[in-house]
Amino acid sequence: MHKKIMHIFVIQFRLMKNSQLYKGSLNTIIMKLLEEQGRMYGYEITQKVKEITKGELNITEGALYPALHKLEAEGLLDVEVEKVDNRLRKYYKLTEKGTTETVNRLAELEEFIKNMQTIVNPKLSY
């Protein structure tokens, strides 16, 4: 019983960490990971992000899957369905267009980070 309650708290704690700041960065994260890893499936992406951020960022399925579908619809991703251990996996990879676009988005992200650091810490920015 105690164990169950504690587990609920742990889940709560993790979700609370997802502040509004991450809003808008999911697409860039997905594309960067695909650029780096070649190809990945949805669930794998959630685990990878959790690992990289030491559990601080948990991408929810309700955000991830629609995002992947949209990127595919925009021609930025290609998908290949595979059956592993009798379970479906949808592997995504960048198209040529997606690779080009990834460069742009990463540049935007760098600018964003730079601007935010300038705002937060004006002393350090010169």
Q: CB of 109: closest distance to its own copies in angstroms?
A: 6
Instruction: Calculate Rg over the CA atoms of the chain.
Output: 17
Q: Is 70 in the site for DNA (CB under 7 A)?
A: yes
Could you give the string, one character per residue 91-110, with x where binding to DNA holds by CB under 7 A and - elsewhere? --------------------
Please give the structure tokens belonging to residue 37. 């890893």
Q: Is 66 in the site for DNA (CB under 7 A)?
A: yes
Q: Is 113 in the site for its own copies (CB under 8 A)?
A: yes
DSSP 123: G
* Residue 63, helix vs strand vs coil: helix
| Footprint of its own copies on 46-75 (CB under 8 A) | 49, 52-53, 56-57
Q: CB of 100: closest distance to DNA in angstroms?
A: 18
Strand (E) or helix (H) holding 78: strand 77-84
Please give the structure tokens belonging to residue 44. 């794998």
Strand (E) or helix (H) holding 80: strand 77-84
> Between 53 and 95, whose beta carbon lies closer to its own copies?
53
d(CA 10, CA 17): 11
- The binding site for its own copies (CB under 8 A) comprises 19-25, 27-29, 32-33, 36, 49, 52-53, 56-57, 106, 108-113, 115-120, 122
